[in-house]
Structure formats: structure tokens, C-alpha cells
Amino acid sequence: MTVDSDCYAVIFTSRLNNDAQGYEAMAARMVELARAMPGFLGMESARGADGAGITISWWESLEDIALWKAHPEHREAQELGRRQWYESYRVQICKVLRDGPRRPPEA
């Protein structure tokens, strides 16, 4: 991802329940869906063995983020997350003010 103009980040922090059956498949599907959305710039995820995870997605505009939030299949996933998968979660929407280059630069 390079940031030539405005760029927004969604910070999603979560903790999975012990029983998170079906989560991995849905998470993979969400990545696939997000990539196809307008304004999608990138996504990175990390989850430790303790179940605590962080996903960042980057977008061109707040409107793009709102569209992604409202995507029907994504809404289903959000609902399943609330009901089943997440012990807790939190979403923050941010404006990227300064974007350091990836080091070393990508080949």
C-alpha cells in the first residue's frame, strides 16, 4: 500500500472465544470480499496463541468504510462474531496522518 492522498485505517481488536468454529473460513472469505470493495487499499492481521487479535484494513475514504461495513455478507459475519466468535471486540476508525515507508522497501 502506498498513500498518495487521504487514507483511513480501521483498527479491529478482538479476542476469540475458546469455541470459534467456522471463524477461520469466514475470516478468509471476508478478506476476499474486502479486496473486491471500492477503495480497499490493504489489510493485515495478527493473532497470538492467546486468542487476542488485531486486524487493520486501509481504505481511501470514510464512505468506502461505510460501504464495507454495510455489505450484506460482512454484516452476517459481524452478527456471527458478536453472537459466537468474539469474547470481546472493538472497532476504531482512524485517519492516517503519517505513513512511514515499509522498511526495507518491498522488492
The footprint of its own copies (CB under 8 A) covers 8-9, 11, 13, 44-49, 52-54, 56, 62, 82, 86, 88-104
Shortest Å, Cβ 75 to its own copies: 15
CB nearer its own copies, residue 6 or residue 73: 6
Neighbour-count burial for 47-81, b at 16+ CB within 10 Å, e otherwise: eeeeeebebbbbbbeeebbeebeebeebeebbeeb
76 or 92: CB nearest its own copies: 92
Q: How far is the CB of 104 from its own copies (least distance, A)?
A: 6
